[in-house]
Amino acid sequence: MDTLVGLLPIILMFVIFYFLLIRPQQKKQKKVQEMQADLQKGDRIITIGGLHGTIHAIDEGTLVISVQDGSQMKFDRSSIREKLNQD
């Protein structure tokens, strides 16, 4: 019984750690993966490096992104940070 009482603070700390840090990070990662899977040609995006552009072509794991001056660059799908709203 004394062992269980001694472990209770450690167990409680792990539960709090899980709900405050691990679970929200997992939800965020799942949301990012869904966004990256739903990308389509013509979507305006921002890469992890901060490059703003429009998707010109999509391959299974890569994207061709057109930037404002007309140049095109090839990026991995996982390097897309966010999709901008189509206003």
Read off the pLDDT of residues 9-31 as tens digits, 9 standing for 90 and up: 999 999 999 999 999 999 999 99
Amino acid 81 reads: R
Cα separation, 16 vs 10, in Å, equals 10
Strand ranges inside 1-87, DSSP E: 44-47, 52-58, 62-66, 72-76, 80-83
Look at residue 83 and tell me whether its pLDDT is greater than 70. yes
DSSP state of 76: E
Domain that holds residue 24: 1-83
Which residue reads 């010109």 in tokens? 56
Look at residue 86 and tell me whether its pLDDT is greater than 80. no
Q: In 10 A of CB 73, how many CB atoms?
A: 13
Quote the number of domains for the chain.
1
Tens of pLDDT along 67-77?
999 999 999 99
pTM: 0.72
DSSP state of 37: H
CATH code assigned at 7: 2.30.30.30
